[in-house]
Copies of this chain bind each other. A is one copy, B any other.
Amino acid sequence: MARKLSNFLCFAVYSANLAFGRAYKPILDKVGLSYTQYIALVALAEEDDQTVGALGEKLFLESNTLTPLLKKLETTGYIRRQRDPADERQVRISLTPAGRRLVDKDLGAPLVGAIGLGDEFPAVQKTVTRLRDNLLRATKTGSEKR
């Protein structure tokens, strides 16, 4: 007999991610953002004027995902994209005042209660992060380019 789906940690994480997206959706719809776009804004608020590559390292994404997403954020008016004059290959991303204001609103705050973890919250956050880093490290080794 095969293992049960409910015993798969990967499924727990997969479905929890779906759940987060759905919980954020009604909040983000009001400001015209998708879930991923919001996460990118938070990363930009933490450090402004980043290159696409640096932002991608923080988000674990690459230009194939980020470029279209950032273009939409630029159209929406939350960020600016400009080529770095010192190295024209790079594109630097900065928050507009509107983008900064939006992140400062801390739109996710109302969800903390819904998550319902209480004191465990920081511990869970740390553990899931550790799990992610372990997985990424294990995936990376064995497929190195350099």
Contact = CB atoms under 8 A, between A and B. Distances in A.
A128 B10 CA distance: 10
A8 B42 contact: yes
A131 B116 contact: yes
Kindly report how many copies of this chain are found in the complex they form together.
2
Given A39-B11, A127-B120, A104 B135 contact: no
Contacts of A7: 125
Nearest to A123: B127
Interface in A105-146: 106, 108, 111, 113-117, 120-121, 124-125, 127-136, 138-139, 143
Interface residues of A, number: 60
Interface of A: 2-20, 22-24, 26, 35, 39, 42-43, 45-46, 58-61, 103-104, 106, 108, 111, 113-117, 120-121, 124-125, 127-136, 138-139, 143
